[in-house]
């Protein structure tokens, strides 16, 4: 199993989305968080399961929510690096503008 590294920008995107959903309906933010965490578990167990979409980046769609988790694999650290929790309505070019 790979370890999980979440970049600060991705954490902020995730946090902002959670707050947004919670403001729309009580408990919806928590459901969003659980869905994202479920996908983190899948990614760390089988990180190569999802196809590369650009260079070393891979993505997975969060079930029931219009978000993509963008990540790359760091083989040296045996880690999955989450670079974005990306709303699918945003400009797709911005998925990869991460440090």
Express each pLDDT in 14-67 by its tens digit: 999 999 999 999 999 999 999 999 999 999 999 999 989 988 999 999 999 999
In a domain, 56, yes or no: yes
In this predicted structure, the answer to whether residue 96 has a pLDDT above a threshold of 80 is no
In a domain, 67, yes or no: yes
Concatenated DSSP letters for 18-84?
HHHHHHHSTTHHHHHHHHHHHHHHHHHHSGGGSPEEETTEEEEEPTTSSEEEEEEEETTTTEEEEEE
The tally of domains found in the chain comes to 1
In terms of Cα–Cα distance, which of 94, 88, 95 is closest to 58?
95
Q: Are 10 and 96 in contact (CB under 8 A)?
A: no
In a domain, 97, yes or no: no
Range of the domain at 69: 3-88
Residue 22: which CATH number? 3.30.2310.20
* pTM listed for this prediction: 0.88
pLDDT category of residue 92 using cuts at 50, 70 and 90: low
| Bridging pattern class, strands 57-61 and 79-87 | unpaired
pLDDT category of residue 80 using cuts at 50, 70 and 90: very high
- Looking at residue 88, what is its pLDDT? 82
Q: What are phi and psi of 31, to 5 degrees?
A: -65, -40
């Amino acid at each position: 199993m790979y370890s999980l590294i979440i970049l600060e920008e991705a954490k902020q995107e995730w946090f902002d989305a959670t707050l947004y959903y919670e403001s729309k309906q009580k408990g919806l933010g928590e459901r969003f968080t659980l869905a994202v965490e479920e996908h983190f578990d899948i990614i760390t167990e089988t990180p190569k399961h999802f196809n590369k979409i650009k260079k070393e980046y891979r993505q997975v769609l969060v079930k029931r929510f219009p978000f993509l988790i963008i990540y790359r694999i760091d083989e040296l650290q045996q880690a999955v690096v989450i670079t974005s929790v990306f709303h699918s309505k945003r400009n797709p070019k911005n998925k990869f503008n991460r440090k």
